[in-house]
Structure 1
Amino acid sequence: MTELLRFLGALWRAIVGAAADALEWVRKPGSKLKVVCAVLAFGCLVSGLTAYEREQRIEDLNAQVVKVRADWKADAERLQADVENRDKRLAEVAATLRAEAEKLKVLQAQSAEALRALAGKIEASEKDAASWKARYEQRPDTCKAALELLDSACPALKGY
C-alpha cells in the first residue's frame, strides 16, 4: 500500500511540476512557439463558437421542421375531414335527387294518364259538337222561322 501511495505522490509531483514549468515558459517573452500556440488557441476558440452557433441553428431548424410537419399533419387531417363532409353532403344530395326523380316519374305517369283522359274527353266533345251541329243543320223550317223571329225581337241575342 505504501508503494501505491509513493507512486501516486510521484505522479502528482510530476503533473504539478509540468504545469509549473509550462506556466514559467509562458511567462518568458519572445518565443515563436508561444505565438503559434496563441494563434491556434484563438482559432480553436473561434471554431468552437462557430460550431456552437451552427448547432443552435440546426436545433432551431429541427424545431421548425417538427412544427411544419405537425402543421402539415393537422392541415391534412382537416382537409381529409372536409373531403369526408363534402362526400357525405354529396351523398345526401344524390339520395334526395333520386327520391325527387322517382316522384317526378310518378307525376309524369299521372300527367300522361290525365292527358290521355283529357284527349278522350276532347274527342268525345268534338264528336258531340259535330253531332249537335249536324242536328242543328237538319232542324225543321218552323224552328228556323222561330229563331229568325227571336233574332228580330232581341237583336242583342242574335246568332244562336
Structure 2
Amino acid sequence: MSVLIRFLLAGWSLVIGAAADALQWLRRPGSKIKLVCAVLAFGCVVAGLTAYEKEQRIRDLSAQVVKVRADWQADAARLQADVDNRDQRLAEVATALRAEADKLEALKAESAAALQALAGKIEASEKEASTWRGRYEQRPDTCKAALELLDSACPALKGY
C-alpha cells in the first residue's frame, strides 16, 4: 500500500511541477513562441465553443426532426384510420343500397304481377257487367212490370 501512496504522490508532484514550470515559463517576457501559443490557444477555445454551439443546434434540430416525424406518422395513421372508417361506412351504405334495390326489384315484380291480375279481374268484371247489362236489357216484360211496381212501392230503392 505504501508503494501505491508513493506512486500517487510522485504523479501528483509531477503534475504540480509541470504546472509550476509552465507558469514560470509564461512569466518570462519576450518569447514569440508564447504569443503563437496564446493565439493558438485562443483560436482553439473559440473553435471549441463554436463546435459545441453547432453540436447543440444539431441536437436540437435532430430532436425537432424526430418530433416532427413522430407527429407526421401519428397524423398519417389517424388519417388512414379515418379513410378506412369512411370506406367501411361507404361499404355498409352500398350493401344497404343493394339490399334496398333488390327489395325494390322484388316489389316491382310483385306490383307488375298484381297489376296483371287486376287487369284480368277488371276485364272479367267488365265482361260480366256487359253480359249482365245485355241480359238486363233483354229481360221479359213481366220482369219490367214487376220492377216498375217495386219502384212505385219503394221509391227509396228506385232505379235498379
How does the TM-score come out when normalised to structure 1? 0.68
Give 1:137's aligned residue.
137
The reply on whether 1:117 has 2:117 as its aligned counterpart is yes
Q: Is 1:98 paired with 2:98?
A: yes
Within the alignment, does 1:156 sit opposite 2:156 as a pair?
A: yes
1:6 matched residue in structure 2 = none
| Shift in CA distance, 16/151, structure 1 to aligned 2, threshold 3 Å | closer
CA distance change for structure 1 residues 75 and 20 in 2, over 3 Å: closer, same or farther? closer
- Which residue identity lines up with residue 118 of structure 2 in the other structure? L
* Residue ranges of structure 1 left out of the alignment (5+ in a row): 1-11
Counterpart-to-counterpart distance in 2, 1:77 and 1:18: 67
Q: CA RMSD in A?
A: 3.4
Alpha-carbon shift at residue 86 of structure 1 (Å): 2.4
Which ranges of structure 2 fall in alignment gaps of 5 or more residues? 1-14
- Which residue of structure 1 lines up, in the alignment, with residue 27 of structure 2? 24
Query: What's the counterpart of residue 74 of structure 2?
Result: 74
Specify which structure has the bigger relative contact order, considering alpha-carbon pairs within 8 angstroms and separated by 6 or more residues: 2
CA distance in 2, matches of 1:56, 1:146: 124
Instruction: Using the aligned pairs only, state the percent identity.
Output: 76
Q: What SS does the corresponding residue of 1:159 show, helix, strand or coil?
A: coil
**1:33-66 CA deviation, whole Å, 9 max, x = no partner?**
x999989877765665454334323311210110
